[in-house]
Amino acid sequence: MSYPPPGGYQGGGYPPPPGPPSGKTKVLGLDSNVAAMLCYLPACLCCIDLISSVLWLATEPKENKFLRFHSLQGLMLFFVGLVINIVGRILGVGVSLGGRMAGDAGALGAAGASLLIFFVFLAIGLVLLVIHIIG
């Protein structure tokens, strides 16, 4: 006597994960995959990721969970990058001004610290770029 597998789905365990909807977006008529990709463009491209994420969240129905997920994740990545950029600029300016106020010896230390801050935030920016590409 055979019993059904746990979970109640007769196809072999759990149901298959939902893929992207095959429909088009309401506003521009783009495929859902292309619309989701626009949410992950790097912010250096005129904030297209921010614009498309807000556009899809405002216009697409709540049933399109695929596009809503990618829109929210694209917005999160945009704001994380923005906050990291602002913090890096504030640190860079603070170190530079502190070095100028300390004189010649302080300026040399500030130059090294500024260079270190630059490389740390460059590495963080590259990690964010890789996350955008993976998304």
Q: What does the pLDDT look like over 99-131, one tens digit per residue?
A: 767 666 666 667 777 888 889 989 998 998 898
Rounded alpha-carbon distances, angstroms, from residue 127 to 45, 77, 80, 116, 133: 17, 11, 12, 17, 10
Question: How many CB atoms neighbour CB 41 within 10 A?
Answer: 20
Other residues' Cβ atoms within 10 Å of the Cβ of residue 125: 16
Distance, in Å, from the CA atom of 48 to the CA atom of 29, rounded to the nearest integer, reads 17
- For 135, residues 6+ apart whose C-beta sits below 8 A from its C-beta are 39, 40, 70, 73, 74, 77
| DSSP tag of 27 | T
pLDDT in tens, 53-100: 999 899 888 888 888 999 999 999 999 989 998 998 898 888 777 776
